[in-house]
Copies of this chain bind each other. A is one copy, B any other.
């Protein structure tokens, strides 16, 4: 259903070593830009450096963008994914740890860039985090199984504080190609958002 770039584990390691530090630097730049209070001269100077970096990168465009890679060993590597992409500065990234065949967790720290109400995580980003972990559990972290979101329902118990979050999800039952999964997000004070999702298996 989706296109992948096939590449060896060595090639993946080489690209990761090249682009992961660049991505991390942009993440830190974003955070710095959200915390600065400077005059026009300083801001314009930083902008000029950023524009120069962008111009340098644009001078070497990829012929085709490869959002995901697949190794002969069956490992899938998310390059561009908004949730967990190694090359996407918008991804914290959300690293999903499979805690069993039907369950997973994410531990992540979200800073100013993920804010909705002042001091709190954007409610829509809570939905994104839960969509990400439910989808990963549905697919069991394997490229062999592709599961698409059918429906997802979220209940907001209270605002989620920015900072360290713990996220869990678990398959409740399966019916043919339908997988029913629940999950939740917790901040330092406990559960803030719960989710129920129905995923559909597209390919096995």
A-to-B contact residues, CB < 8 Å: 1-4, 18-19, 21-23, 25-26, 28-30, 32-38, 40, 42-43, 45-47, 49-54, 56-63, 65-68, 80-83, 85, 87-90, 112-119, 122-125, 127-132, 135, 148-156, 159
Report whether B50 and A114 are in contact in the complex, using a CB–CB cutoff of 8 Å.
no
Report whether A36 and B61 are in contact in the complex, using a CB–CB cutoff of 8 Å.
yes
Report whether A3 and B119 are in contact in the complex, using a CB–CB cutoff of 8 Å.
yes
Residues of B within 8 A of A129 (CB): 124
Residues of B within 8 A of A61 (CB): 35-37
Q: Which residue of B lies closest to A118 (CB)?
A: B67
Report whether B90 and A113 are in contact in the complex, using a CB–CB cutoff of 8 Å.
yes
Nearest Cβ distance between residue A155 and chain B, in whole angstroms? 5
Known: A113-B88, A128-B127. A23 touches B33 (CB 8 A): yes
8 A-B pairs with the lowest CB-CB distances in the bound complex, closest first:
A124-B128, A124-B131, A38-B60, A37-B62, A127-B127, A67-B118, A49-B53, A82-B122
